[in-house]
Amino acid sequence: MHSSHLLLEEPIRMVSILEPSKPNFFPAMTKIVGTLGPKSRSVEVISACLKAGMSVARFDFSWDDPEYHQETLENLKNAIKTTKKLCAVMLDTVGAEMQVVNKSEKAISLEADGQVVLTPDRGQEASSQILPINFDGLAKSMKKGDTIFIGQYLFTGSETTSVWLEVSEVKGQDVICTIKNSATLAGSLFTLHASQVHIDLPTLTDKDKEVISTWGVKNKIDFLSLSYTRHAEDVRQAREFLSKLGDLSQTQIFAKIENVEGLTHFDEILQEADGIILSRGNLGIDLPPEKVFFFQKSALYKCNMAGKPAVLTRVVDSMTDNLRPTRAEATDVANAVLDGSDAILLGAETLRGLYPVETISTVGKICAEAEKVFNQDLYFKKTVKYVGEPMTHLESIASSAVRAAIKVKASVIICFTSSGRAARLIAKYRPTMPVLSVVIPRLKTNQLKWSFSGAFEARQSLIVRGLFPMLADPRHPAESTSGTNESILKVALDHGKASGVIKSHDRVVVCQKVGDASVVKIIELED
């Protein structure tokens, strides 16, 4: 892949530095996924997170039990009702994660140049000499000279709470290591990461399957974040598992790329998955740090061209304890937007951080500033060129709608859709204005009862950059013939006006199906 497309071809237009960021119903086009946990699970805090711009709530099952997460989810539902802000639910699996178990929870000091033994014998007490692990096959995968990292918050890059080991010998099931840096490990569980080594653990563990088929089914999860995806087969197996679980056949699978193995098979994983999460904390440990930026740019470009959402993690770690991000982090968030990210995922920052709401709000403001200078023209040309000719009917309509909206300086694109596909295609061309995706519910039956589809489709667009869903009332026609009939278009326009995106005398581009044909039209509003 040639890297010239990664650069901005024209200098960034200098936005007036003193120009205040205007408060808006859509603070940013880039979406924010917030992980809910100890510091962000009350109705009050979740409501504030939704108002600050969180549109997807992530439940990380490496933490606590299903009952704990259920309580948090009930609070989320209440917060959605009171704030009237839509929010999707993402379940994050534990996956092939290896852990050191410290039953006594006493802090363990490790001294540089000393030795420590990793053992699968869980009867041992964790100490400075021996660390019991939850996986029997480590010795089979390791050889002299390999690198292992262990730490409680391993992927934040904090060096004092994590340790770097080099394998000096393998003895039976034990792995004997030399300690490279002095560190103190505190807490009951530490993550263990073997760098660039294939670990023979299933991607969907039995524990994950149990959580998905109970908690996941009960709560009709919108997204499954598949930890440690290494091959396309991992995604296929997860999809097959979900397809048998009623409503979850509609759940989207986001492959979490966390190691070199996942990057090596990136293209085939992207084909199978509905979206990608680039887990930069893990990648930063598996890859030399100087290589991370290139894989990030390359992966985001591929996701953009495939029209699949790309989510980036580990952006403002310092906000876990501070009210402001570092300058480097602020620049990093902006660059993620310029590189084409759909969403920013906050982990520790909202889960256990002291400032969950401020973090969401700060990240949203940085994204909004970067979006002002995103080179849409260059991006549009690249995407059209990548799609090639002849274009499919839908692709042609989507790109025409975006081109028309930009030419007439429309304030919003309204797209009527039932599967959500048309709206996602429009968003793929990254218009500079929001896309209001009006999801028209379809009546479907399983022979026992009738139900409307549409809620999944609406919520799943909450992770796509620039897409803002609204679920239409199935009783309303898409457009009225008589002036008295309340049409869906009028409801959508009123929604846009109420939220401040549409003003009188604005132009609006509407994309809809009429019979067998798809139509793009430009409306000029009078009042």
* pLDDT one digit per residue (tens) for the chain, 527 residues: 444 444 444 444 444 344 444 444 567 999 999 999 999 999 999 999 999 999 999 999 988 899 999 999 999 999 999 999 999 999 999 998 898 988 888 999 999 999 999 999 988 999 999 999 988 999 999 999 999 999 877 766 555 678 999 999 999 999 999 999 998 898 888 889 998 888 888 999 999 999 999 999 999 999 999 999 999 999 999 999 999 998 899 999 999 999 999 999 999 999 999 999 999 988 988 998 899 999 999 999 999 999 999 999 999 999 999 999 999 999 999 999 999 999 999 999 999 999 999 999 999 999 999 999 999 999 999 999 999 999 998 899 999 999 999 999 999 999 998 888 899 999 999 999 999 998 887 777 767 767 667 888 889 999 999 999 987 776 666 554 444 345 888 888 888 888 888 888 999 999 987 767 788 899 998 86
CA gap 385, 470 in Å, rounded: 31
- 376-387 and 393-407 helices cross at what angle (nearest 10)? 160
499 vs 344: CA distance, rounded Å: 23
Tell me whether the CATH fold assigned to 21-94+201-370 matches the one assigned to 374-523: no
- Taking alpha carbons only, the member of 247, 435, 280 closest to residue 348 is 280
**218 in the Ramachandran plot: left (φ > 0), alpha (ψ -120 to 50) or beta?**
alpha
- Regarding beta strands 189-194 and 147-151, do their DSSP bridges make them parallel or antiparallel, or are they unpaired? antiparallel
412, 415, 421, 426 alpha-carbon torsion, rounded to 10°: -30
CATH of domain 97-193: 2.40.33.10
356: tokens are 């969950």
Q: How many CB atoms lie within 10 A of CB 262?
A: 25
C-alpha distances out from residue 380 to 29, 124, 447, 473, Å:
16, 59, 45, 33
Mark residue 179 as left, alpha or beta (left: phi above 0; alpha: psi -120 to 50; beta: remaining). beta
Is the N-terminal amide bond of 390 cis, ω within 30° of 0?
yes
Q: What local confidence, expressed as pLDDT, does residue 440 receive?
A: 81
* pLDDT confidence of residue 289: 84
- Res 369: pLDDT: 96
Instruction: Measure the CA–CA gap between 148 and 302, rounded to whole angstroms.
Output: 30
H-only helix segments in 53-185: 66-83, 138-141
Q: Is 455 helix (H, G, I), strand (E, B) or coil?
A: helix
Exposure letters 337-346 (e unless 16+ CB within 10 A, then b):
bbbbbbbbbb
Residue 33 is encoded by which pair of tokens?
């996924």
Alpha-carbon distance of 459 to 467, in angstroms, equals: 10
Q: Which CATH class is domain 21-94+201-370?
A: alpha beta
Q: What type of residue is 204?
A: L
Is the Cβ–Cβ distance between 98 and 135 less than 8 Å? Answer: yes
Cα–Cα distance between 351 and 154 in angstroms, integer? Answer: 15
Bridge partners of 98?
A: 192
130-132 and 115-119: which strand pairing? parallel
**Residue-range domain boundaries for the chain:** 21-94+201-370, 97-193, 374-523
pLDDT value, residue 462 = 96
Tokens found for residue 501: 């995106």
Residues 6+ apart with CB under 8 A from 336: 296, 300, 312, 315, 344
Q: What is the pLDDT of residue 478?
A: 58
Question: What angle do helix axes 43-52 and 66-83 make, rounded to 10 degrees?
Answer: 60
Give the HSE-up count for residue 293: Cα atoms under 13 Å, Cβ half-sphere.
8
Supply angle C-alpha 118, 120, 126, rounded to 5.
55
Q: Which residues pair with 510 in a beta bridge?
A: 414, 521
The pLDDT, as a whole number, for residue 474 is 67
Are 501 and 26 in contact by the 8 Å Cβ rule? The answer is yes
Report CA torsion sign: 241, 460, 491, 83. positive
What contacts 226, CB < 8 A, 6 or more positions away?
93, 95, 203, 204, 234, 235, 238, 253, 254, 255, 256, 273
**Half-sphere exposure of residue 74: CA atoms within 13 angstroms, side-chain side:** 5
Q: Distance (Å, rounded) from C-alpha 130 to C-alpha 77?
A: 45
Residue 293, φ and ψ in degrees, nearest 5: -60, -40
The CATH code of domain 374-523 reads 3.40.1380.20
In this prediction the pTM is 0.91
Lookup: tokens for 115: 């030795």
